[in-house]
Amino acid sequence: MKKYSFIIWIVALLFLMASCKKMVESGPLEFTNEDNVFDPQDSVGLFTEQFLNNIYAGLPKGFNRVNGNILDAGSDDALPNSTLDNVQYYSTGAINASVLPDNSWDANYAGIRKVNIFLSKIDRITLKASLKGYKERWKAEARALRAMFYFELVKRWGGVPLIGDKVYGIDDDIAIARNTYAECVNYINAEFDAAIPNLLAPNAAGTFSSTFYGRFSRGAAMAVKSRLLLYAASPLNNATNDVSKWQVAAKAAKDIMDSVDAGKFTYALHNTVSTTHYTAANLTGVAPITNSAAYTTSVNKFLSIFSTASNNEIILPAMAAANTSVESSNDPIGYARGGDGKTNPTQELVNEYEMTNGKMISETGSTYVSSTPYYNRDPRLPATVMFNGLYWLTRTVQTYDGGLDRPFGFGRVNNGETRTGYYMRKFMTSNGSATAFANANHVFPIIRYAEILLNYAEAQNEAVGPDASVYAAINAIRTRVGMPNLPAGLNQAAMRTKIRHERRVEMAFEEQRFWDIRRWKIAENVLNGTLHGIQGTLNGTAINFQEVEVAPTKFDAAKMYWYPIPFKEMVSNSLMRQNPNW
């Protein structure tokens, strides 16, 4: 009996062991790896193209991208509506290596890595004959994107480490020194030059296939180069005012203008009303009584640049699906749609808009009346800023104290309503109803043709002086919105002032001013003091307007022209050196 039971036991054990059949897979078989993405047998490059598409998603987005605010809310053009929103640390001087709201270091290097992976792997695939040339174009697009990512780094931090085509592995020691600003600019420039021959070329009519809109084209590469070289020639990066740098910058812009003139590109200032934002009746009290129809057309034209998904003016867009985020973030707070009213333009910006006669409001003969401050101003003002009395959705905006869009009034609260008495108008569409948002196209114009004209005018004025081509470029921009031409006979300095003025009012909230005040080295002047707003007080049915101080600003010229290198980079890269005085 004893032995018998023991045998049963053994048999049972054997049975158990035999039943341990291998049913477990030894690894994650369902995972997609690099070999699937760059599959030599994939003749259409399905995953390869998807990999490239994702690199595009790293392009700067523009709208409300800094923790819900636009970048220019950190300049003298606007303020965020909450005192806690960190984008204004740039104007209050509160940034440091640990607290850096617009820290795109990691994101741009992530983009660079993606490009490097793409370039190192793409030659594995062979596309079918009908896709001839696609591979070369994809490579060129990737290189252009990489150059763009570097430019994003360089304009923030100056010289950054150039890592070439290197794809780091997790065991690599990553100690890389910074390259100089000049080396970076040369590298970016050279990369664009190398990419341009294989980039998307316009057809005989100067346009691109409609499905390719949004891709990095030759024109886009040339346009980014224009901005790159302009920045490199600017006072911040050109301490000796080397005129040859201005010449190079002028030429880069001129190349695009010449190609347009030669019919190679169809870029132009968008000069039609593609969306009727306002009727003349809507603009009662804003448009001049004598000329309200033309004025309304100008306003609508200017707004139309931003309310269409594509037009001839936009050279490089940051594409996005139709959405409601611009409206929901920036709608004045008193409307039933429940907008956040985030971007609050400053009085400084509003004062920059001329009267329709071409005179600044402070000039003699301007015809400016302080009790009707928004009447008869540059049409770009009602197309950029929402002020008290501007029509929006169902009624006029009420930003007087106690008004629907400013219920608490000036200085009473720290968030929840406008701090300056203004809201942003520029990129907004009135899509949807008075009570609900609806999707609208919001393609951020990273570069549009007007900037090329401004770039050219600025560089040419510095390189040569205010010649006729400078006048032509600026006047083209002014003519589009019905503003009179610049007065003749300006000297170089006066022209510089006019160009800077034009750039500020034309490009407001398009991530230009933020960088312009740095490269012109004027941030220490415009951001050391107080930013202003307006207080409207209801007096019977009339409103008394008074300029008020809203926010103190501080800009330390010794260090703030460049961002501090993020703290993590400093401690993790032994060769990293901090920018001066941070």
Partner 1 sequence: MKRYIYNLVWLLVITSFYQAMGQTNTIVTGTVSDKSGPIPGVSVIEKDMANNGVSTDDNGKFTLKLRGSSGILVIKMVGFLTKEVKVSATPLQIIIEEDTKGLEEIVVLGFGQKTKKITNTGAISAITGAEIRQSPSASLQNSLAGRLPGFFSQQRSGQPGKDGASFQIRGVSTYASGGTSPLIIVDDIEFTLDQVNQLDPNEVESVTILKDASTTAVYGVRGANGVLIVRTRRGEAGKPTLTFRNETGLQMPTRRPEMNDGYNTLQLLRERLVGQFVDPTSSYPQYFSGNNLDHYRLNDDPYNYPNVNWWDEVMKDVSIQNRINFDVSGGSKIAKYFVSLGYLAQGGLFKDFSKDQGYETNYTYNRYNFRSNVDIDPTKDLHIRLDLSGRFGITNEPYDKAWNNGGTIFQYLWNGELSSFLYPVYWPNGLIATSTSTATKPNPVANLKYAGYTRSYGNNLNFVAQANQKLDFITKGLGANALVSFASDYGFTRTLRRSGSGTNLEILAYVYNANTKSYNPWKTDMYRMGTLVREGSSGGTNKLLNVQANLNYNRSFGNHNISALALVNQTTTAINALEPSNIRGFTTKAGYNYKQKYLVDFSAGYNGSDKFQSSKRYQFFPAGSIGWNISEEPFFKNSVKFVDALKIRASYGLVGNDAIGTSTFAYGKTYSTGSGRAYEFGETPTSNAGLIEPTLSNYDITWEVQQDGNVGVDLKMLKGKLNFVVDYFYKKRKNIVSAPGTLPGSFGASVPLYNLGIVKNTGYELDLTYRDRINSDFSFFTNANISFAKNEVVYRDEPATLYPWLSSTGKPVGAQFGYTSDGFYQNLADLYTAPKLTTSIPLGNLQLGSIKFTDLNGDGIIDQNDFGYLGTNSPKYTTGLSFGFSYKGFDISTLFQGAFDYIIRFDRGILAYSRPDRQSVPYNLGRWTPITGENAVFPEISGSPNNTPGTNNVNLSSYWFASGDYIRWKNFELGYRFPQQFVKKLHLNNLRLYANGYNMGLVYTALPVFIDPESAVSASAGEYPQQRIINFGIQIGL
**Closest C-alpha among 504, 518, 500, 508 to residue 557:** 518
Shortest Cβ 525–partner 1 spacing (Å) = 21
Are 369 and 375 spatial neighbours (Cβ–Cβ below 8 Å)? Answer: yes
Nearer to partner 1, 73 or 486 (CB): 73
Nearer to partner 1, 178 or 227 (CB): 178
Shortest Cβ 230–partner 1 spacing (Å) = 27
Residue 202 DSSP code: P
Q: What are phi and psi of 262, to 5 degrees?
A: -85, 0
**Closest C-alpha among 29, 32, 30, 47 to residue 124:** 47
Give the whole-angstrom CA distance, residue 146 versus residue 163.
Answer: 11
Give the whole-angstrom CA distance, residue 27 versus residue 169.
Answer: 22
The C-alpha R_g of the chain, in whole angstroms, comes to 28
Shortest Cβ 195–partner 1 spacing (Å) = 18
Give the whole-angstrom CA distance, residue 571 versus residue 567.
Answer: 7
Nearer to partner 1, 128 or 412 (CB): 412
Shortest Cβ 447–partner 1 spacing (Å) = 17
Q: Indicate the helix (H) or strand (E) that contains 468.
A: helix 468-480
Shortest Cβ 241–partner 1 spacing (Å) = 33
Give the whole-angstrom CA distance, residue 211 versus residue 97.
Answer: 42
Shortest Cβ 32–partner 1 spacing (Å) = 4
Pair type for strands 314-318 and 444-448: antiparallel
Nearer to partner 1, 24 or 262 (CB): 24
Shortest Cβ 38–partner 1 spacing (Å) = 10
Shortest Cβ 245–partner 1 spacing (Å) = 28
Nearer to partner 1, 47 or 520 (CB): 47
Are 193 and 169 spatial neighbours (Cβ–Cβ below 8 Å)? Answer: no
Are 513 and 77 spatial neighbours (Cβ–Cβ below 8 Å)? Answer: yes
Give the whole-angstrom CA distance, residue 70 versus residue 79.
Answer: 9
Are 318 and 61 spatial neighbours (Cβ–Cβ below 8 Å)? Answer: yes
Give the whole-angstrom CA distance, residue 259 versus residue 226.
Answer: 14
Nearer to partner 1, 319 or 361 (CB): 319
- The residue to which tokens 């948002």 are assigned: 437
Nearer to partner 1, 145 or 483 (CB): 145
Give the whole-angstrom CA distance, residue 408 versus residue 402.
Answer: 6
Q: Where are the alpha helices (DSSP H) in 331-436?
A: 347-352
Shortest Cβ 68–partner 1 spacing (Å) = 11
Shortest Cβ 136–partner 1 spacing (Å) = 18
Nearer to partner 1, 32 or 364 (CB): 32
Nearer to partner 1, 141 or 352 (CB): 141
Nearer to partner 1, 106 or 123 (CB): 106
Nearer to partner 1, 116 or 455 (CB): 116
Shortest Cβ 303–partner 1 spacing (Å) = 19
* Spatial CB neighbours of 580, under 8 Å, sequence gap ≥ 6: 558, 559, 562
E-strand ranges in 128-256 read none
**Closest C-alpha among 460, 542, 9 to residue 254:** 460
